[in-house]
Structure 1
């Protein structure tokens, strides 16, 4: 979608009424516009432009009570039900951190936000929807039946912007970097990788060596990283379910990462989608978008942190799964056994 359709808000609304059965994201793609432009077209109808900063929005959400947090990328959607309690602001990243809602928020990508009140056959559905500069969804908060509507009304009134334009101006999407490798630094990568004491050190290591995450996996070799057959994602999810292993699942985009911590209770495959359908937690994964899967072993002070990480054909990360660590259980050998038993892909030897 390099050349977006130039449609007026009225034209967007008319086209939407002709395709009411499609989800917003799917309709926007069909119409060759961005989802944020679709939502903006309904400003002054059932949509209100509001302040977009995490510092403006997030502290206000706790008083709504129970809501649903939704974060997605092109290939995976995560939904968690809970309360937006325990907000921590930061200059580069903020967070919501509690047992149900666990988010990392990167405020520079919170460019536009809307309060949406949409009439449906089952009543009015209310949500806050946040978009980045390209008009792609960063994060959404959906009210639940028991959410406090008085708080909602006051929140919308307090955060309402003077600018209620129905036209959302968007920037080109930043292209995803494919695997960025630097074979000349392969030995240094392996040496410094082995010395890591925290998984976050990896995020500083790879750019220093002029690589990215996927590129580093391509050249570091075993036992640090092992490429898996793509269908092993299903094998892994079913093993986590069958063996009742608590995991941490990370799903996100450039502006938000949402995390589930706990077991998996229900898996249901529907067409290309693999779905986790648990009380208070849903995940929807496009299996046909998975191009590469890696089993990754990063050393920490608390022992090895094993993960399974899936990437799309462009090299964008779809999701990550780790064994869950808590004060009560620091290590989950069953998770390590699951990962170690997954079948490798047929790939070339590392540099």
Structure 2
């Protein structure tokens, strides 16, 4: 079983499961992002993995372009593109797992205070293996206990917003000039993302069928349309920019299996999908955003505004997605 599934079966968190193996292929390390990121650069080519309950994104590349910050930090290069929030980086582990074929899979794994995975980095055949032992020694902390105290999970916030706020919301929405201003706006109004979508109405949002994400990925693959896929949790958001090629459904999972980029999406977890339009200085940014039945954000997909032709093709593709015959109730 995968560690995440095994920990759920045992009634513990994934971080506690790893802690139980300290001294047996697992070493507790610092979760300080400012220490981890330079160490990861020394490993050369690796695989970066970020997930939430319903989606996993994996990108292959090198951890170049780290930009630290006390509240938010970045890794930005052609392959690895991350938005990271240091306060959620609470527990770190260096892991060596023996595989069935006798090989060893090495990884750096970071978890939040509740013991849920924030970000993982896996070594590959092309990684600089000679750096591994030194990195583990450099990052190792004094506390090598096999017990780990965790806090209660922060529950997903359900949609928050009232229909009588619609006019004020639209007026504020009209003032947006950058997508990053959106969350500032909803916080100011004391609502949240999904709550805003449910009350804004056209031309700001359009409710789409739950199958819209699958349809969109298929159309993007068929037309070699470059897209931006955002998948994350409270501590890390990982981004893919570019076309997708190979889509492969497997049971409830919809998988993108491309060289350097994998996506694993539980399509059956999608309860709501919204087409969202936000103004930017480079034109409207149109996204397709999927939520689970608790109101949690699963993933966002955008067009590539930097390429006008691709942006236009993206807008046409999204416009062709199936909308809901009736509005989702606020």
TM-score under structure 2 length normalisation: 0.97
Is the 1:52–1:111 Cα contact (8 Å) retained in structure 2?
yes
Aligned residue for 1:12?
A: none
- Alpha-carbon separation, structure 2, partners of 1:197 and 1:68: 34
Structure 1 partner of 2:255: 275
Structure 1 position 344, deviation (Å): 1.2
SS in 2 for 1:66: strand
Q: Name the residue aligned to 1:346.
A: 325
In the alignment, is the contact (CA less than 8 A) between 2:72 and 2:85 conserved in 1?
A: yes
Query: Are 2:225 and 2:310, in contact at CA under 8 Å, matched by a contact in 1?
Result: no
1:302 aligns with 2:282: yes
Secondary structure in 1 matching 2:92: strand
Range moving further from structure 2, 282-291 or 331-340: 331-340
Instruction: Indicate which of 149, 153, 162 corresponds to 2:133.
Output: 153
Aligned to 1:66: 45
Matches within 5 A, 1:134-153: 134-153=114-133
Q: In structure 2, what is the Cα distance between the partners aligned to 1:243 and 1:211?
A: 37
Partner of 2:31: 52
Structure 2 residue aligned with 1:111: 90
Instruction: Give the SS at the match of 2:280.
Output: coil
**Structural RMSD (CA):** 1.3
| Among candidates 86, 90, 107, match of residue 65 of structure 2 | 86
1:192 corresponds, among 165, 172, 193, to 172
- The CA deviation at 1:98 is 0.3
Count, aligned residues: 329
CA distance in 1, matches of 2:308, 2:212: 26
Q: 1:273 to 1:244 in 2, by over 3 A?
A: same
Report the TM-score, using the length of structure 1 for normalisation: 0.91
Match of 2:17 in 1: 38
Query: Which structure: greater strand fraction?
Result: 2
Q: CA deviation at 1:345?
A: 1.6
Unaligned runs of 5+ in 2: none
Name the stretch that deviates more: 134-143 or 336-345.
336-345
Q: 1:349 to 1:26 in 2, by over 3 A?
A: closer
Q: Deviations over 1:180-225 (max 9, x none)?
A: 0033321011112122111111111011111100000000001101
Q: Contact between 1:182 and 1:210, CA under 8 Å: does it hold in 2?
A: no
Distance in 1 between residues matched to 2:182 and 2:311, nearest whole Å: 22
- CA–CA separation in structure 2 for the residues paired with 1:146 and 1:208: 47
Pick from 304, 311, 322: which aligns with 2:291?
311
Give the drift of 1:331.
5.7
Task: Give the CA deviation at 1:147.
Answer: 1.1
* Aligned equivalents of 2:156, 2:326: Cα separation in 1: 23
Structural mapping, 1:250-289, within 5 Å:
250-289=230-269
Pair 44,350 (structure 1): closer, same or farther in 2 beyond 3 Å: closer
Q: Give the conservation status (yes or no) of the 8 Å contact 2:285–2:305.
A: no
CA contact 1:182–1:209 (8 Å) conserved in 2: no
The 8 Å contact of residues 291 and 313 in structure 1, kept in 2 or not, is answered as: yes
Q: Take 1:133 and 1:33, find their aligned partners in 2: how far apart are those partners?
A: 13
- 8 Å CA contact 2:226–2:310 kept in 1: the answer is no
SS, match of residue 125 in structure 2: coil
After TM superposition, the runs of 4+ consecutive aligned structure 1 residues lying more than 4 A away are: 328-331
- Distance in 2 (CA, whole Å) between partners of 1:349 and 1:146 is 48
Greater shift after overlay, 178-187 or 110-119? 178-187
Shift in Å at residue 227 of structure 1?
A: 0.8
